[in-house]
Amino acid sequence: RALPPAAPAVRQRLRECAARIPEAGAVLDLLEKCPEHQKKGGFPVVVFEGLDATGKTTVTQSVKDTLNGILLRSPPACISEWRTIFDDEPAPIKRAFYAAGNYILASEIAKASTQAPVIIDRYWHSTAAYTIATEINGEVQDLPPVHDEVYQWPEDLLKPDLVLLLTVDPKERVRRLQHRGLEKTKEEAELEANCLFRQRVEESYRRMVNPACQEVDASPPKEEVLQTVLQLIKKHCAL
């Protein structure tokens, strides 16, 4: 089943490979220190999702500055240096790493949201959308049906107040990627080479529920996108 693992399964998987991958043991240690069922503080928590080169880095930084917020990323900084190690592992181990990152991030969100608005660059929806799109081959119609449990937010994971999905015309996104000239992740290379994979990722994002993603066209100039985003935050969050 193309479901990202929930916390108990994540722990189990990391335990199984800790002898072979010392970093898995380190991730597990951090995960064990996180209290279960994190509670959000009084400030809003806003997540930005989207494929690479949809403007997440620019927008999240601008929103953080405008709202005097705290910016967090998934995977969180404390484990992100090990990404390359886990990206080369088989899918179940790789997914366990990213899922663990979400639970570790949740404890950072819980703490930060008692101090200021929290802006997050990717969270659970990314892990889920990429898992589903990787494990299901073929076209969008081959994805699990709309109300399938794979699109549900995990019950034991802290929920954000708002999730914004930044989308950009595919040609514009490729242009931005080329302009950046950055090293591509394996999944990004796959996105570029495989139009169907990209469609599956985006459609999986759109099917997520509880919370669902609000789509934002990130093609206009960044000032315009920032204004759209700030209006949505004002509308949906108590600021």
Parallel/antiparallel/unpaired status of strands 162-167 and 213-217: parallel
Answer for the pair 92, 19: CB distance below 8 angstroms, yes or no. Answer: no
pTM of the model: 0.89
Q: Looking at domain 7-236, which of 3.40.50.10600, 3.30.70.20, 3.40.50.300, 3.10.105.10 is its CATH number? A: 3.40.50.300
Query: Given this model, what pLDDT does residue 139 score?
Result: 87
Q: Of the given ranges (17-26, 32-41, 124-133, 215-224), which has the lowest mean pLDDT?
A: 32-41
Angle at 136 between CA 148 and CA 197, to 5 degrees: 115
Is the pLDDT confidence value at 161 over 90? yes
Query: Given this model, what pLDDT does residue 2 score?
Result: 58
| Whether the bond into 170 is cis, omega within 30 of 0 | no
* Phi and psi, residue 94, nearest 5°: -60, -45
State the DSSP code for 238.
-
| First-residue to last-residue Cα distance in the chain | 39
pLDDT in tens, 41-81: 999 999 999 987 788 999 999 999 999 999 999 999 999 99
CA-CA distance, 112 to 20, in Å (whole number)?
34
Provide the percentage of residues in the chain whose pLDDT is more than 90: 68
Query: Given this model, what pLDDT does residue 188 score?
Result: 62
Is the pLDDT confidence value at 125 over 90? yes
